[in-house]
A = this chain, B = another copy of it.
Amino acid sequence: MRLQLMTWPEVERYLARTPAILVPIGSTEQHGPSGLIGTDALTAEGLALGAATVAGAVVAPTLAIGMAQHHLGFPGSASLRPSTLVAVVRDLVVSMAATGFRQFLFVNGHGGNIAPLRTAFAEIYADTSFAGRAGALRCELFNWFESRALGPIVRELYGAAEGSHATPSEVALAAYYHRGQLRDVVLEPATAPGGHDFQDAADYRRRYPDGRMGSNPALAREEHGARIHDAVVADLLEAYHALIAA
């Protein structure tokens, strides 16, 4: 269930049963010459909705602007400062806690969000720790691209051409949710230069001239996305059930 399509009495009834929510968070950033700028948000949203449908869980609106300072060398990228993202996550959790939510599972589609998200969780917990009180909130992070079930599929489908940004797996998953969006663009070289190293946006663009990191997204197919979706949703459901049982 999308929270946006519920009414408050419906949420009230839901909370009496399960004070948990899935929060998709992505980014708005270049994904190479052929990948969609919204990839990280679209995939996080699709997975969260997939899992929620099975589990009868509520899904918050997607946080589509993440921490992507290193992609600002490419048109169409946008970013929050890390400290702003920390504040957003903190406010979201604390304000929803005021209405009865206690357990927050962030379904994350972007590596650059990990540190700010964990920082935000610590900031939230610090409120009660510094005050010498006991809190009741629990925040968990599910990075779908690190999902256990994903590895074998990716190795089978793409091998070393998976790379680490604008990967065929994320491109395929986004294409599964948004059919007909696979671009027919010639990528040169087919597989981009690899590495995980970068500092600011200028440095990133110097190292990875077309935005991709070690990937060949031309390998992506919509039907791959279906398979990835199913596998990752299963992992996500496990994380969700662990959270509400905690």
Residues on A lying within 8 angstroms of B by beta carbon are 2-12, 14-15, 28, 30-38, 41-42, 60-65, 67-70, 72-84, 86-88, 91-92, 94-100, 112, 114-120, 122-123, 125-135, 137-139, 178, 181, 183, 185, 197, 199-203, 211, 246
Query: A65: which B residues are within 8 A, CB to CB?
Result: 61, 63, 88, 91-92
Q: Which 4 A-B pairs have the closest CB atoms?
A: A4-B38, A11-B76, A61-B64, A134-B202
Contact A81 B91, beta carbon cutoff 8 Å: yes
Query: A8: which B residues are within 8 A, CB to CB?
Result: 30-33, 37, 74-77, 211
- The distance from the CB of A57 to the nearest CB of chain B, in whole angstroms, is 13
Query: A61: which B residues are within 8 A, CB to CB?
Result: 28, 38, 41, 62, 64-65
Query: A88: which B residues are within 8 A, CB to CB?
Result: 65, 80, 84, 88
Contact A67 B122, beta carbon cutoff 8 Å: yes
CA distance in complex: A209, B169 (Å):
43
Are A72 and B84 also in contact (CB < 8 A) when A36-B6, A64-B62, A200-B128 are?
Answer: no
Contact B83 A83, beta carbon cutoff 8 Å: yes
The one of B33, B41, B99, B131 in contact with A98, judged by C-beta atoms closer than 8 angstroms, is B131
Are A5 and B96 also in contact (CB < 8 A) when A28-B60, A200-B128 are?
Answer: no
Copies of chain A in the complex: 6
CA distance in complex: A194, B19 (Å):
27
CA distance in complex: A165, B44 (Å):
31
Query: A37: which B residues are within 8 A, CB to CB?
Result: 3-8, 11
CA distance in complex: A69, B36 (Å):
34
Query: A2: which B residues are within 8 A, CB to CB?
Result: 38
Are A134 and B203 also in contact (CB < 8 A) when A79-B129, A86-B82 are?
Answer: yes
Query: A202: which B residues are within 8 A, CB to CB?
Result: 128-129, 133-135
CA distance in complex: A120, B130 (Å):
16
- The distance from the CB of A98 to the nearest CB of chain B, in whole angstroms, is 4
A63 closest partner in B (C-beta): B65
Known A9-B75, A83-B119, A127-B200; 15 more pairs at CB < 8 Å? A3-B37, A5-B181, A6-B36, A7-B30, A7-B37, A8-B30, A10-B76, A38-B61, A63-B65, A67-B122, A76-B99, A77-B96, A82-B120, A125-B201, A135-B199
